[in-house]
Chain A
Amino acid sequence: DTAVSQTPKYLVTQMGNDKSIKCEQNLGHDTMYWYKQDSKKFLKIMFSYNNKELIINETVPNRFSPKSPDKAHLNLHINSLELGDSAVYFCASSHGVGAEAFFGQGTRLTVV
């Protein structure tokens, strides 16, 4: 069983569209994350969320919004997609302070 799974793996869409990326973890972790990896391979935190608190990186446009229907899911919704949103988006989860982060395989988003 895949520990952290995200769908779709590839997403090609036009500018201005709204899209969602889904993430599920079956590890029982209490914290989930979304990261954006740009063309230079820099992995930048976008959000972290547990059942108590949402922490938003201040540089993330408000067109991006995380939605968590339950503890095992953290989906990423993006409104009005822009060319600069093209990147690989990774979902991850962890349990406790200083613990290991488990990553999904990534979603390569291409905005045309």
Chain B
Amino acid sequence: TQLLEQSPQFLSIQEGENLTVYCNSSSVFSSLQWYRQEPGEGPVLLVTVVTGGEVKKLKRLTFQFGDARKDSSLHITAAQPGDTGLYLCARTPTNTGNQFYFGTGTSLTVIP
């Protein structure tokens, strides 16, 4: 079992606030992805990070991959109601096992 712990599990904030979501594992990732899932839909890919220490930005979202490639964070600046959803980190398939393993999830609600 590939256990990816996300924190916090639930987050409810006001529009305009900043927030950070964390994804941690005891294992080293070859690469890691972040997905967002909206109610009634399947998860949709936001970003893939590959290199330790890598930082990627997607508009108001900033993704960082830990130097040791065991953890990652997602920071949202000036959150908006449209950011509401379930955020999932995922360990991508490797050469030895072709399965995506998802984190425990962070459910974000942005209140207008």
Q: Which residues does chain A contribute within 8 Å of B41, judged by CB atoms?
A: 103, 105-106
- B98 close to A42 (CB less than 8 A): no
Complex Cα–Cα for A98 and B37 (A): 19
Q: Which residues does chain B contribute within 8 Å of A53, judged by CB atoms?
A: 98
Complex Cα–Cα for A31 and B99 (A): 9
- B90 CB contact (under 8 Å) in A40, A50, A101: A101
- B95 close to A105 (CB less than 8 A): no
Q: Contacts A48-B99, A94-B93, A101-B90 known; A41 to B42 CB distance under 8 Å?
A: no
Stretch in B14-22, B59-67, B70-78, B100-108 touching the partner: B100-108
Q: How many A-B residue pairs have CB under 8 A?
A: 70
- A45 close to B101 (CB less than 8 A): yes
Interface-centre pick from B42, B92, B94, B105 (highest chain A CB count, 10 A): B42
Q: Which residues does chain A contribute within 8 Å of B107, judged by CB atoms?
A: 41
- A42 close to B40 (CB less than 8 A): no
Question: In the complex, how many angstroms separate the beta carbon of A30 from the nearest chain B beta carbon?
Answer: 9
Q: Which residues does chain B contribute within 8 Å of A31, judged by CB atoms?
A: 93, 98
- B102 CB contact (under 8 Å) in A43, A94, A99, A106: A43
Residues of A within 8 Å of B, CB-based: how many?
26
Q: Contacts A97-B93, A98-B31, A98-B92 known; A43 to B43 CB distance under 8 Å?
A: yes
Closest to B86 in A: A41
- B97 close to A55 (CB less than 8 A): yes
- B98 close to A50 (CB less than 8 A): yes
- A105 close to B98 (CB less than 8 A): no
Closest to B93 in A: A97
Within 8 A of B (CB), among A49-86: 50, 53, 55
Q: Which residues of A are in contact with B by a Cβ distance under 8 Å?
A: 4, 31, 33, 35, 40-45, 48, 50, 53, 55, 90, 92, 94, 97-101, 103-106
Q: Which residues of B are in contact with A by a Cβ distance under 8 Å?
A: 30-31, 33, 35, 37, 40-45, 48, 50, 86, 88, 90, 92-95, 97-102, 104-105, 107
- Given A90-B42, A98-B92, A99-B92, 5 more A-B residue pairs with CB atoms under 8 Å apart are A31-B93, A43-B43, A98-B30, A98-B50, A98-B93
